[in-house]
Amino acid sequence: MTETVTSAAPGVRTEITGARRLVVKVGSSSLTDATGALDMARLEVLVDALVAARRRGQDVVLVSSGAMASGMGPLRMKRRPRDLASKQAAASVGQSLLVGRYSSLFGRHDITVGQVLLTVEDVARQDHYRNALRTFTRLLELGVVPIVNENDTVATHEIRFGDNDRLAALVAHLVGADALVLLSDVDALYSAHPSSPDARAIPVVADIEDLEVDTSGHGAEVGTGGMATKLQAARIATASGMPVVLAAASQVNSALAGEPVGTLFLATGKRRSRKLMWLAYASVSQGELVLDAGAVRALTERKASLLPAGIVEVRGDFRSGDPVRLVSESGTVVARGLVGYDSAELPGIIGRSTRDLVAEFGAPFDREVVHRDDLIVRPRKKKP
């Protein structure tokens, strides 16, 4: 096992206490008892900690699982349903119960909550993404605590986030959060499965890309996530400038107060614009452009724009402004970008220089196929 880990920082984690805006995610197993019913004592602890953060002047967005688990009791379901219709029915009943409890608990502190149910389409389509941003922005301006969940009542197996860890990372970027806190039934990231006698908690991870740990364990029965999904969320956040804390839900007060509990994943990249974050992690590619070796080098080494001359093949049906994959001739994904041409326009101009195109067709063709400001180049794997 190899890992890039520093020793636990003494004192308070300023990455959390200094955050102007926090996104906090909590899993189903952290909110329910052994029967699958909502555990009000656990909800009270969580809400009190979030209220304390608000009183410190921090904006808070809560991504909360638990709708399906909350609906199991009233529907007399003894186990998590397996078929889609039953899952959606449980979520439909449980979501109102869950938000009702949150509303009551926050209401004790004169804080209003707002329910935000998202589907993959809400972040995959750029116009929906902008609409979601406007909603969050206004809720936070009004002093409301958004309670976010995937819209399980309409999501399908094929079109869904699959877990709220990834959803939380995407929401964190959408709202411009300064830190992401993942609360779970696991108190930290371990060097091996926690049941292993030689497993040890890892207090700080300096670079998640250098980390190799056992994530083969599954989440609790009432949840959908596991450690692998939490690492995926941490990878999304840290690669674009956002620190992440993974801690047990029972340690929420300490985690939000910046105490060195759980595991802190340090930010490794620069904060990106919302457009580029959407392009990198939330958008659905509408096609592919196959590039020659020279174009691949221009994009990855010189951070250049993509010109028609470097394209050897066009795949898919897309419009100008759509997200597309940029791949090498061997099929390796090199980057993702917002294309500046319709797919029907490109076959007649690929492989040709911009100068020749302008001479033949005029000034409108003096432009890039994908501008460098609309590109996300896929990081190259580090050599061992």
Question: DSSP secondary structure string, 181-202?
Answer: EEEESS-SEESS-TTSTT--EE
Q: What is the pLDDT of residue 68?
A: 80
Q: What is the pLDDT of residue 223?
A: 36
Burial of 258 per CB tally in 10 Å (0-12, 13-18, 19+): buried
Question: Which parts of the chain sit beneath pLDDT 70?
Answer: 1-10, 35-36, 152-163, 212-225, 282, 380-384
Per DSSP, what are the bridge partners of residue 370? Answer: 306
CA distances from 107 to 43, 103, 290 (A): 13, 6, 55
**Hey, what domains does the chain have and what are their CATH numbers?**
5-277 (3.40.1160.10), 285-377 (2.30.130.10)
What sign does the CA torsion over 265, 266, 269, 272 have?
positive
CA distances from 80 to 72, 73, 162, 249, 250 (A): 7, 10, 15, 21, 23
Nearest to 162 by CA among 237, 77, 232: 232
For the chain, what's the residue count?
Answer: 384
Going through the chain in order, the beta strands assigned E by DSSP cover 5-6, 21-26, 59-64, 113-118, 145-150, 179-184, 189-190, 201-202, 204-205, 244-248, 263-265, 287-291, 311-316, 323-328, 333-338, 375-377
Both tokens of residue 226? 């596991």
At 262 the three-state DSSP class reads: coil
CA dihedral 13, 16, 17, 20 (to 10 degrees): 150
Contact 245, 182 (CB under 8 A): yes
CA distances from 109 to 52, 54, 257 (A): 10, 11, 19
Nearest to 308 by CA among 347, 351, 348: 351
Contacts of 202 (CB under 8 A, 6+ apart): 3, 5, 188, 189, 190, 191, 213, 263
First to last CA, the chain: 12
Q: What is the pLDDT of residue 348?
A: 92
